[in-house]
């Protein structure tokens, strides 16, 4: 597994193989364009196995969002930036890690949750809700470090860790859309650079040599 580009694959049962297939294929071509037959072929399982584990393609799509949350959370929780003592350093390290993994083909570094949420928000409540909870939950984990940074460095009135965590995700998800349009990772790297400058200015660190 190349942690700079992909999530860990879990070997094992047909259900896990189908979830892995969904995460990979949907990031490549979208949910609507993905068929049950294609998912089964990619996973190496029968259609009977598919319907043993999932009542429908929509059910798989929602379950894949939860699976994405689990696997991507492990990737970020195990990253080295979590070892920083300073909360702002941890957040900036998170941005560094985001930049590090934004390499290769666009489908390899973009977000299953963001992709499926954008496509299915009006057609599937189950997928929309599961995908949004994935993004919001990731924002909430960032919020802990950002709240600590606010307590240590101060911030303008009304700024909260959760609002900055959600803003971080808004920047990244928007950058993923631009990357899909452009066909490469450059918009993601540009967006992270701008986000870093903003955060350093917000916490009064613009003259620290970080930018």
CATH topology assigned to domain 57-202: Tetracycline Repressor; domain 2 (1.10.357)
pTM across the whole model? 0.88
Instruction: Give the residue extent of every domain in the chain.
Output: 57-202
Full pLDDT tens readout for the chain, 211 residues: 233 344 444 446 999 999 999 999 999 999 999 999 999 999 999 999 999 999 999 999 999 999 999 999 999 999 999 999 999 999 999 999 999 999 999 999 999 999 999 999 999 999 999 999 999 999 999 999 999 999 999 999 999 999 999 999 999 999 999 999 999 999 999 999 999 999 999 998 865 555 4
Cβ contacts of residue 177 below 8 Å, gap of 6+?
Answer: 118
In sequence order, what DSSP letters do the residues of 16-84 get, joined into one string? HHHHHHHHHHHHHH-STT--HHHHHHHHT--HHHHHHH-SSHHHHHHHHHHHHHHHHHHHHHTSGGGG-
Using alpha carbons only, give the angle 4, 183, 119 rounded to the nearest 5 degrees.
90
């Amino acid at each position: 597994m190349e942690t700079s580009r992909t999530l860990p694959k879990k070997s094992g049962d047909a259900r896990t193989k189908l979830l892995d297939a969904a995460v990979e294929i949907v990031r490549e071509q979208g949910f609507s364009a993905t068929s049950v037959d294609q998912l089964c072929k990619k996973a190496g399982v029968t259609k009977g196995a598919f319907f043993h584990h999932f009542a429908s393609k929509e059910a798989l799509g929602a379950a894949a969002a939860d699976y994405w949350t689990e696997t991507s959370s492990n990737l970020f929780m195990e990253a080295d930036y979590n070892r920083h003592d300073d909360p702002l350093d941890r957040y900036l390290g998170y941005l560094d890690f985001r930049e590090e993994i934004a390499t290769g083909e666009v489908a390899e570094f973009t977000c299953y949750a963001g992709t499926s949420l954008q496509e299915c928000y009006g057609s599937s409540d189950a997928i929309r809700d599961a995908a949004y909870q994935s993004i919001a939950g990731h924002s909430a984990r960032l919020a802990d470090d950002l709240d600590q940074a606010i307590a240590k460095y101060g911030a303008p009135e009304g700024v909260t860790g959760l609002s900055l965590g959600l803003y971080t995700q808004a920047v990244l998800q928007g950058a993923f859309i631009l990357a899909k349009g452009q066909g490469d990772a450059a918009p993601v790297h540009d967006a992270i650079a701008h986000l870093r400058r903003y955060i350093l200015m917000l916490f009064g660190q613009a003259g620290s040599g970080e930018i």
